[in-house]
Structure 1
Amino acid sequence: MRILVAPDKYAGTLTAVEAAEAIATGWSRTAPDDEIVQVPMSDGGPGFVDVLHAALGGDLLSVTVTGPHGAPVPATVLIRGSQAWVESAQACGRHLVADVETASTVGVGELMLAARDAGATEIHVGLGGSGSNDGGAGLLAALGATSSPAAALTGGVRGLETLAGIDLSAAREWAAGVRLVAASDVDNPLTGLFGATRTYGPQKGLAEERLPAVDAVLEAFAVRTDRRTSLEPGAGAAGGLGFALLLLGAERRAGVDLVADAVGLADRAGDADLVLTGEGAFDFSSRSGKVPYGVAKVAADRLRPCVALAGRVLVGSREMRALGIESAYAMVDLVGEERSMSDPHGALADLAARVARTWSH
């Protein structure tokens, strides 16, 4: 029996690569004769570069960029021929942000500059896991946009409050020679009831009473740049990094679809008898561009069953089937929450070994 293992990261415990290894280890314990193919996945968030490097090879370029509060942070750019992949979370991820209102995305623009300097003419930007909410203003500044006052674009939302004027011509000139792809798992606009601030601001530490004011700052930013573009699906991705990329002519793609195409997931699923996927918490939000839903869609297109192994399963059987998943199993139900957190690799391997008893021939 041939098993395709295609999980996302298990946030805070396992990378996608580590999760795939754990599932393969546990499955082989029960079904040693099964052939297991590991294809770690990502939706554009943390792990985006590592997953693609594992699947595609290429060169990892180590760089140092400006973090969300000005301190230097290490990052990597994946270069493969004329293509490059960068991960915005490495420059402005939630783990780096102390104050969302002063967090800048300058470092993401610097990652793009490094990719272009390395010879890339096609740059894919993964947009998940950001801790910023500056509408991508810092990214635009890094690529040459200017403002009055001069620091308005690089001080996060607090800087944008002072914005009196902006000129995007230099940034657009830089982007004219590059194909940009925004890899995003959300389709929110930049502002409004379902915009970046009101939808994701609280997760990033924005106080409830500050949401209207911060949303108004981004609305003013949109008016000074391109109001229509701010309403496009995905403009609100990563605190508005999606908006900045769309302003520069970027094509938007669902991150999981981009990764699936890059790793040849459809052909691999067609060659498999069973597809396994997973993530830390499997719930109904997984339908919004998350890896399990994307993998399940590919499996369904190839008429292959798809099973999810998760840290927690928070949906019932009806919702599970709506997501294209035949069955879902939780680590916490098998080994408890304490071991799931203290020994995630072992816990996931044990879960995979248990699931193999049911699903392996």
Structure 2
Amino acid sequence: MRILIAPDKFAGTMSAAEAADAIADGWRRVRPDDTVTTLPLADGGPGFVDVLDHALPGAVRRTVKTFDPIGRPVEADYLRDGVTAYIESAAACGLHLLAPEERDPRRTTSYGLGLIVAHAVESGARRVVVGLGGSATNDAGAGMLTALGLTLLDSTGAALPNGGGVLSACTAVEGEARTRGVEFIAATDVDSPLLGPHGATYMFGPQKGATGNALPFLEMSLSSFAEVAERAVGPVGASALPGAGAAGGLGFAFFLLGGRRESGARLTCEAVGLDAEIAAADLVITGEGSFDAQSLRGKLAAEVASGAAAHATPCLVLAGRSEVDSHPDLAGVHAVVDLVGSPEAAMRAPVEGLTALAEEVAKDWHE
């Protein structure tokens, strides 16, 4: 058989490439005569640039000196493929760059991402695709906008410092973003608006360190800033657009810059030629750390499963844990937790657990 293994990352434990290799190793132990192809994927979050670098042979990796979410110097890579630049927001403002005690979206900033975007623009890119996900920020992209040339002022005319916690003091946005007419695409599968119970703050703030009174405070700050920014830059209503709340409101900032949102999963799948790989396979295996109802709403596993169904090719999901037993586009759903007995055991040895799960599935699979 020809097996295509095309997983997403297993957040917090394995990159997409590591997960693909673990599944392939387990499968080959049982079925060594099968032809196994690995195709790591991403939805715009961490791993986005690595996946595209693997899939686009003509692309060139660029390294930029920038800053992490609390202002420490870091180096970050982005990808240049012709006139298109592919950037991962988490490279500069990712949650993984901070220790747990450093996570506080009242002070974290997307300024470092703005420096990467500026580098891509100034180096001649005409299309900039930014994968949104895994961010430690909740500043509605204000830091990024500042790095691109806009100035946020308070009522005294002083420039605001960075961080989501000061945005309620913004009374004016002046200047013009130095974007040279570049086309911006926000690659994300998050469809949240900027504000409200399903917005950037209340939906994603807690995982970034915002708790208790910090949540209504940040929500008020983002609401105030959005009103000022829409009036100064436009378009009015950008904060309510699907995806405006992605990555702490970075989606909103890209809408202010005239950008648009595209599905990160679909964009990646098209870039790596997933459809052709599925057409050549007899079985497709995808996976992610947690497979749940959200996974079926346009996320990467659902994108792979849908593509497989279009070719009448069976598709399996191998996940760390699963809350979904079945789906019309899937031939089966299997979870490491069910094999090893507990989430703790699965987290202690993620690669070994996923490899063992692939072995068990291979034993049971019949052509």
TM norm. shorter chain > 0.5: yes
Root mean square deviation, CA, Å: 1.7
**Alpha carbons 1:43, 1:289 under 8 Å: kept:** no
1:342 lines up with 2:343 in the alignment: no
Residues 172-321 of structure 1: pairs in structure 2 closer than 5 A: 174-226=178-230, 227-315=236-324, 317=325, 320-321=326-327
Any idea what SS the aligned residue of 2:176 has? helix
Offset of 1:176 from its aligned partner?
A: 4.3
For residues 318 and 238 of structure 2, the distance between their equivalents in structure 1, rounded to whole angstroms, comes to 38
Unaligned runs of 5+ in 2: 231-235
TM-score by length of 2: 0.92
Instruction: Specify the alignment match of 2:151 in structure 1.
Output: 146
Q: Distance in 2 between matches of 1:13 and 1:29?
A: 22
In the TM superposition, residue 339 of structure 1 has moved relative to its aligned partner by: 4.9
What SS is found at the alignment partner of 1:321? coil
Compare the two structures and name the one with the higher helix fraction. 1
Q: Which amino acid aligns with 2:27?
A: W
Which residue does the alignment assign to 1:163? 170
Match of 1:114 among 113, 119, 130: 119
How far apart are the structure 2 equivalents of 1:135 and 1:120?
24
Change (3 A) 1:71 1:212: same
Partner of 1:94: 95
CA distance in 2, matches of 1:72, 1:287: 38
How far apart in 1 are the matches of 2:194 and 2:208?
16
**Structure 2 counterpart SS, 1:140:** helix
Is the Cα contact below 8 Å between 2:44 and 2:133 reproduced in 1? yes
**Contact 1:312–1:332 (8 Å) recurs in 2:** yes
Paired-residue identity, %:
47
Name the CA distance, whole Å, in 1 between partners of 2:221 and 2:122. 33
Distance 2:346 2:310 in 1: 32
Please, which moves more after superposition, 233-242 or 59-68?
Answer: 59-68
TM-score, length of structure 1 as denominator length: 0.93
CA contact (8 A) 1:151 1:159 kept: no
Q: Partner amino acid for 2:69?
A: P
- The residue identity in structure 2 corresponding to 1:352 is A
Counterparts of 1:115 and 1:298, CA distance in 2: 32
Partner of residue 8, structure 2: 8
Q: Which residue of 2 aligns with 1:66?
A: 67
Shift of 1:178: 1.0
Q: CA deviation at 1:24?
A: 1.1
User: C-alpha separation between the residues in 2 aligned to 1:294 and 1:195?
Assistant: 24
- Between the aligned partners of 1:252 and 1:332, the Cα distance in structure 2 is 34
Residues in 2 aligned to 1:151 and 1:203: alpha-carbon distance in whole angstroms? 29
User: What is the CA–CA distance in structure 1 between the aligned matches of 2:96 and 2:362, rounded to whole Å?
Assistant: 35
Q: Structure 1, unaligned stretches of length 5 or more?
A: none
CA contact (8 A) 1:186 1:288 kept: no
Residue by residue over 1:140-196, the C-alpha shift from the partner in whole angstroms, topping out at 9 and shown as x without a partner, is 0011001214542x52122213212112x421xx33421111001111111123211
Find the counterpart in structure 1 of residue 358 from structure 2.
352
Q: Which amino acid aligns with 2:62?
A: L
> Which letter maps to 2:20?
A
Contact 1:255 1:289 in 2 (8 A): no
SS of equivalent to 1:182:
strand
Question: How far off its partner does 1:128 sit?
Answer: 0.8
- Partner-residue secondary structure (3-state), 1:60: strand
Question: SS in structure 1 opposite 2:65?
Answer: strand
| 8 Å contact kept, 1:3–1:276 | yes
In 2, Cα distance between equivalents of 1:63 and 1:347: 36
User: Structure 1 residues 360, 142: closer, same or farther in 2, change over 3 A?
Assistant: farther
Does 2:135 match 1:130?
yes
> Any idea what SS the aligned residue of 2:22 has?
helix
Deviations 1:243-278 (A, max 9, x none): 000111112101100101101111211221111000
Equivalent position SS for 1:123: strand
8 A Cα contact 1:46 1:87, kept in partner: yes
Contact (CA 8 Å) 2:43, 2:188: kept in 1 or not?
yes
